[in-house]
Amino acid sequence: MRTRKGTLIKDIKRQKYIYLMIFIPLVFYTVFKYIPLWNAQIAFRDFKSVRYGIIDSPFVGLKNFKEFISSYYFWNLIKNTLMYSFGKLLISLPSAVILSLAIYECRRPALRKTVQTLAYLPHFLSWVIMYGILLSLFAPGDGIVNDVLKSLGHKPIDFLTNSNTFPFLVIFSDAWKEMGWSAIIFIAALMGIDVSLFEAAMVEGATSWQRIRYITLPAIRPVIVIVLLLKIGTIMEAGFNQIFMLYSPAVYNVADIIDTWVYRQGLLDGRFGLATAAGLFKGVIGMLLILSSNYFSKKYTDNSLF
24 forms part of the interface with another protein (CB under 8 A) = yes
Q: How far is the CB of 4 from another protein (least distance, A)?
A: 11
62 forms part of the interface with another protein (CB under 8 A) = no
Q: Measuring CA to CA, which residue among 215, 221, 190, 195 is closest to residue 103?
A: 190
Residue 156 CA to residue 161 CA, distance in Å, equals: 12
Q: What are phi and psi of 59, to 5 degrees?
A: -80, 125
292 forms part of the interface with another protein (CB under 8 A) = no
For residue 28, CA distances in Å to 19, 33, 35, 212 come to 14, 8, 10, 42
Binding residue (CB under 8 A) for another protein from 105, 168, 292, 296: 105
Residue 66 CA to residue 203 CA, distance in Å, equals: 65
Binding residue (CB under 8 A) for another protein from 60, 69, 86, 265: 265
Q: Measuring CA to CA, which residue among 48, 54, 41, 76 is closest to residue 269?
A: 48
217 forms part of the interface with another protein (CB under 8 A) = no
Q: Kindly tell me which of 54 and 83 has the beta carbon lying closer to another protein.
A: 54
What is the number of alpha carbons within 13 Å of residue 196 lying toward its C-beta?
0
Q: How far is the CB of 61 from another protein (least distance, A)?
A: 18
Q: What part of residues 161-200 is at the interface with another protein (CB under 8 A)?
A: 161-163, 176, 180, 184-185, 187-189, 191-196, 198-199
133 forms part of the interface with another protein (CB under 8 A) = yes
Binding residue (CB under 8 A) for another protein from 6, 59, 66, 207: 207
Q: Kindly tell me which of 170 and 223 has the beta carbon lying closer to another protein.
A: 223
Residue 25 CA to residue 12 CA, distance in Å, equals: 18
69 forms part of the interface with another protein (CB under 8 A) = no
Residue 267 CA to residue 36 CA, distance in Å, equals: 17
Binding residue (CB under 8 A) for another protein from 154, 253, 292, 295: 253
